[in-house]
Amino acid sequence: MTWSEEDEKAILDTIDKFVEDEVKPIAQEYDLEDKYPHELVESMKALGLFGATIGQQYGGLGLSARVYSQIVMRISAAWMAPSGIFNSHLIMAAAIERFGSEEQRLRFLPRMLSGELRGALALTEPNAGTDLQAIRTTAVRDGDEYIINGAKMWITNSLYGNGLAVLVKTDPDAQPRHSGMSMFAIETKDANGNCLPGITVNKIKKTCYRGIDTAEVVFENFRVPAENLIGGVEGKGFLIAVGGLELGRINVAARGAGIAQGALDLAVRYSQERETMGKPICQHQAIQLKLGEMGAKVEASRLLIEQAAKLYDKGERCDMEAGMAKYFASETGVFCAQEGMRIFGGYGFSVEYDIERYYRDAMLMCVGEGTNELQRMIIAKQLIARKPI
C-alpha cells in the first residue's frame, strides 16, 4: 500500500497532537531530572513509531524517509531526545530488513515494529568513533555460536531496550580492515528484563540528551547463535553499518532542524513579549536580523533534508546529500539555539525557560552519526568524484 497525501497529512496531524498533548508537557521536567519517559514510549508503540519505516509486508507502516523525517522534526521541535528512542531502533531494523536473510526478517521485524523488541545500532567504542574500522570488539566462531568480547560506548536504548545490532571484528587481521568486520542482531535481556550472561550495561551521565538511556555496553564472553549474523556471511558488517548511517544522518539532520525550528518559535514568541526602550524587542532591528537569518536557515535545512530523503526513498546513493543535510541542519540547530539564547538574554540561562535545553541539546547533533568535519570531507570527495576532469 502506498500512502496518499491525505494519509500522510493525517499521520502528521496525529504526531502534532501527540507532541502537544504528551511531549511538550513533560519535556523540561524529564530533561532536568534525567528521567526516562516510559509512558511516552508506550504512546509511541501505540502510534506505530517503532515500525514507522519497516516494510508493510512485515507489518510496519512502511513510511518514506521523507515523511519519517517530518515526524522527527515535529517531535524534536518540542523535545529532541525522544526521537532518539525510535531512530536508533529503526536503524537496527533497517539493517536487518536491507541486509538480513528472510528468516532473520521474519524473526526480528514483527517484534521490533510492535516495540516488544526495542533495539539500537552499537558501533562506537571507547577508542573508535568516526573511524569505525578501528573497533576492537571481536566475535570468534565456536561451533554454532560466536563469542563476543569488547565494549561499545554511547549506545542509545541499551539500558531500557533489549536488542542491539553490534558491529564486530570476525577477522581482526584482515586487510583492508573493513573486510574483517561483521554485524550481529542480538537480544540483550531475558523475559524478566535482566541482562543476559556476558552483558553489562553502565549508564552515562550527560550534559544534554537527558531522559534517554545512553550507556556503555560491555561484552564478556557473550554467546550469540551463528544464525544471528546479519546476512549469514562474515565480512559485510562495514557495508551494513555505512548503509544504516544514511538513514541515521537524515534523522539527525531532521533532529537538528527540529531543534532549530523549536528555538526559532520560542524566540519569535519571546521577542513579542519582552519589551525594552518602550517597545517589544522584535521591533528592534538587531533582533529582526537574528530572526530573519534563523528563519532562512531553518527553511534551507528542510529542503536539504527533503532532497536526501527523496533519494533514499528511490534507493539511490545519497551519502553526499545526507551528509549535506546532516552538516547544515545540525549546524543550524546550534546557530538557532545560540541566537535564541541571545534573544532571551539573562532569562535564557534559567531552567524555567525551554531555550536552555535546546542550547544544550543542539551540539550533540554536530557529533552524532559522524562528526560534521567528516561530513564535509564526504561532501568534498563526492563533489570531486562526480565532476572529474
Q: What is the pLDDT of residue 284?
A: 98
Q: Quote the pLDDT of residue 7.
A: 94
- Amino acid 82: pLDDT: 95
d(CA 296, CA 61): 32
**What residue has cell string 530523503?**
309
Q: Is the peptide bond before 197 cis (omega within 30 degrees of 0)?
A: no
| Residues in contact with 7: Cβ distance below 8 Å, sequence separation at least 6, in sequence order | none
Say how far apart CA 257 and CA 265 lie, in whole Å. 12
pLDDT computed for residue 243 by the predictor: 77
Residue 44 has a pLDDT of 97
How many Cβ atoms from other residues are within 10 Å of residue 140's Cβ?
14
The C-alpha cell of 211 is what? 531522559
CA angle 132, 135, 140 (to 5 degrees): 130
Which active-site residues does the annotation give? 369
Report the chain (389 residues): mean pLDDT per 10 consecutive residues.
90 97 97 96 96 96 96 98 93 94 97 95 89 92 97 94 97 92 97 95 93 95 98 94 84 97 98 96 98 98 97 90 96 98 96 96 92 94 94
User: What pLDDT is attached to residue 61?
Assistant: 96
Q: In the chain, what are the domains?
A: 5-114 (1.10.540.10), 121-233 (2.40.110.10), 239-386 (1.20.140.10)
pLDDT of residue 337: 98
Q: What is the DSSP string of 242-266?
A: HHHHHHHHHHHHHHHHHHHHHHHHH
With the CA atoms of 117, 165, 308 and 293 taken in that order, what torsion angle do they form, in degrees rounded to the nearest 10? 80
According to DSSP, residue 196 is labeled P
- Can you give the pLDDT at residue 129? 78
User: Does the predicted TM-score (pTM) go above 0.85?
Assistant: yes
From first CA to last CA, the distance across the chain in angstroms is: 44
Task: Please report which residue ranges of 195-284 form alpha helices under DSSP H.
Answer: 237-273
Amino acid at 49: L
Residues 359-378: b if buried by 16+ CB within 10 A, e if exposed = bbbbbbbbbbbbbbebbeeb
Asked whether 133 and 251 are in contact (CB, 8 A), the reply is: no
Phi then psi dihedrals of residue 117, to 5 deg: -110, 110
Distance CA(133)–CA(383), nearest Å, equals: 24
Question: Is residue 95 classed as helix, strand or coil in its secondary structure?
Answer: helix
So what's the pLDDT on residue 133?
86
3-state DSSP: the chain helix, strand, coil percent, rounded to 5?
Answer: 60, 15, 25
Q: Grid coordinates representing 348? A: 535564557
- Amino acid 88 reads S
What φ, ψ does residue 154 adopt, rounded to 5°?
A: 60, 45
Task: Indicate the residue type of 302.
Answer: R
Is there a contact between 91 and 120 (Cβ–Cβ < 8 Å)? yes
∠ CA 201-205-207, nearest 5°, is 150
Among 268, 248, 273, 252, which Cα is nearest to 336's?
268
Q: Grid cell 566475535 — which residue?
A: 139
**Which H/E stretch holds residue 122?**
strand 121-122
